[in-house]
Structure 1
Amino acid sequence: MASAKHGFALVTPASRGLGFAFAQQLLAKTQLPVVATARKNCADLRDKLLSSEGLPQDAEQRLRVLEVDVTDETTISSMADTIRQDYPKTPLRIALAIPGILHVEKSPAQIGAESALHSFQVNALGPLLLMKHLSPFLPTKSSPEFPISENPESDNELKLPSHAIYAMMAARVGSISDNNSGGWYSYRASKASVYQIAKTFDLYLRGRCAEKALAVALHPGTVRTDFTKEFWSGREMLEPLDSAYRILQFLAGMPAGSKDGRGRCWDWKGEEVLP
């Protein structure tokens, strides 16, 4: 099992779909402790993750599942307190903050105040609050670099870089420059916020952490999950594990010192999605 100097990984939420796939990949392809979150049924999520194929024997020791609802800041604060207690002096090495909710509005007349507010609470305020409580765990300028993979010949191991990665989930439909079809008003607007949050947070990390940590936004592609179920027909779909694997490979290869990479939004193919 990795020591404190290797850091820990976090996926929030990890209860299904892409988040579940990220947690699976981190358990299977790294030696890091993995913190996964769910709004409810944490024990069920733990059992489901540990029943995944291809996990090493120490996965049960490395997995911690915590209850988090991003619309309730007290649960995020409680998660941070638990991490401090369970992983003292252990820095956050890779974080995937990916809350998302979709309320479909095809015309302005379909916009409801309550559902639109919910979109912003989950898609925009959620990432902000997660960033608030998780940023203290990231390494600073004076922190030592993370050790590089101890098994460089292993094809099954994700070769993480020596810096920390903080990734948050945007969406291509949040891009103003890419908006050619309209609709989905509250989802587009709330996901557009993530582009700004990622950029602003990365500027903060440049000052506090220098090249020890970076922040980016992500577009995972159209992934075959319950979230996208009503849009499966006639679309090219990615399976969650495929999208998660390709995103993690891209993130692991992104240099922290590249001003052209950090603070921007990238898709599962490693191509930039412009704001």
Structure 2
Amino acid sequence: MTDAGSAVIIGASGGIGGALAEALHADGRHDVIHRFARSFPAPHRIDLTDEASVAAAAALVRDSGPPPRLVIVATGLLHAEGRQPERKLADIDPDWMARNFAVNTIGPALVAKYFLPLLPRHGRTLFAMLSARVGSIGDNRSGGWYSYRASKAALNQLVRSFAIAEARRNADALVVALHPGTVDTGLSAPFRRGVPPENLASAPTAAANLVRVLGALTPTQSGRIFAWDGGEIIP
């Protein structure tokens, strides 16, 4: 997937993030796997809504071994504490919308701010963020889920912009968004009714799919959005 170096998983306590960390560990390609999550104790705790926390995590990676050649942001907010995606206009709440953007858009942007500069300037590097098909503007046929859709659409735009900037540093760099599909995790739990079993992936299967997709990408595909099966998603 990349040359030797370290890998970083942000959100490693989640179903997909944890499975990605385990898949990379089993692969043995990377010298070190750095795992960060909000639920982890210091120094591996990270809170994407706290810039100082993100900066500290980046400093830890910078000062503890080979530079990262792979960074995956496997975080996201869809529902929490009884709050669900909006189904109608009357459900729109500014605080809930702001929280979606804080976690799904601004937090990953802060990770890019502090971790992209750590990537080497030569050789293949990968910076990937978990997005969602519902963040596609062109693919939106059902509406609703206003805050989540908008925050992921904004994330996809950031991925494009980060890719352009990173290409100026390293012609072999890749910055992409990934859609893991419907995965058997707590994030999707309230929304899986009616999903056929064959369309519901386990976390390890989803991680294997994403690792396979990342391994097949070339720098000419940087800045784009890819689904678990390698298909490109329109912005």
What TM-score do you get using the length of structure 1 for normalisation?
0.78
Deviation track 1:196-245 (CA, whole Å, cap 9, x = no partner) reads: 1111111111111112x110111110111000101122112111111110
- Counterpart of 1:97? 73
- Counterpart of 1:19? 17
Superposition pairs of residues 94-133 of structure 1, within 5 angstroms: 94-102=70-78, 103-133=84-114
Give the gaps of 5 or more residues in structure 2.
Answer: 79-83
- Counterpart of 1:242? 205
Deviation track 1:29-68 (CA, whole Å, cap 9, x = no partner) reads: 124200111112448xxxxxxxxxxxxxxxxxxxxx7100
Distance between the aligned counterparts of 1:200 and 1:86, measured in 2? 29
Is the counterpart of residue 254 in structure 1 residue 217 in structure 2? yes
Give the gaps of 5 or more residues in structure 1.
Answer: 44-64, 146-162
Distance between the aligned counterparts of 1:210 and 1:190, measured in 2? 28
State the identity as a percent: 37
Structure 1 counterpart of 2:51, which letter?
A: E
- Counterpart of 1:28? 26
Distance between the aligned counterparts of 2:204 and 2:174, measured in 1? 24
Is the counterpart of residue 37 in structure 1 residue 13 in structure 2? no
Structure 2 counterpart of 1:228, which letter?
A: S
The Cα of 1:73 is off from its aligned counterpart by 0.7
Superposition pairs of residues 179-194 of structure 1, within 5 angstroms: 179-194=140-155
Distance between the aligned counterparts of 2:224 and 2:218, measured in 1? 13
Contact 2:61–2:67 (CA under 8 A) maintained in structure 1: no
Is the counterpart of residue 75 in structure 1 residue 53 in structure 2? yes
Contact 2:36–2:45 (CA under 8 A) maintained in structure 1: yes
The Cα of 1:84 is off from its aligned counterpart by 1.9
- RMSD (Å), alpha carbons: 1.4
Q: Secondary structure at the match of 1:11?
A: strand
Q: Deviation above 4 Å: which 4+ runs of structure 1?
A: none
Structure 1 counterpart of 2:26, which letter?
A: A
Structure 2 counterpart of 1:273, which letter?
A: I
Distance between the aligned counterparts of 1:106 and 1:84, measured in 2? 43
Match of 1:209 among 170, 173, 177: 170
Match of 1:85 among 63, 66, 82: 63
Contact 1:8–1:35 (CA under 8 A) maintained in structure 2: yes
Q: Secondary structure at the match of 2:217?
A: coil
Structure 2 counterpart of 1:106, which letter?
A: R
- Counterpart of 1:159? none
Contact 2:176–2:223 (CA under 8 A) maintained in structure 1: yes
- Over 3 Å counting, the alpha-carbon distance change for 1:25 and 1:180 in structure 2 is same
Superposition pairs of residues 258-273 of structure 1, within 5 angstroms: 258=220, 261-273=221-233
Deviation track 1:126-168 (CA, whole Å, cap 9, x = no partner) reads: 111000000111111xx3x3xxxxxxxxxxxxxxxxx111111
Is the counterpart of residue 232 in structure 1 residue 230 in structure 2? no
Structure 1 counterpart of 2:97, which letter?
A: A
Distance between the aligned counterparts of 1:225 and 1:28, measured in 2? 21
Structure 1 counterpart of 2:9, which letter?
A: V
Distance between the aligned counterparts of 1:219 and 1:174, measured in 2? 10
Structure number with bigger Rg: 1
Contact 2:7–2:33 (CA under 8 A) maintained in structure 1: yes
Is the counterpart of residue 6 in structure 1 residue 17 in structure 2? no
| Count of aligned positions | 224
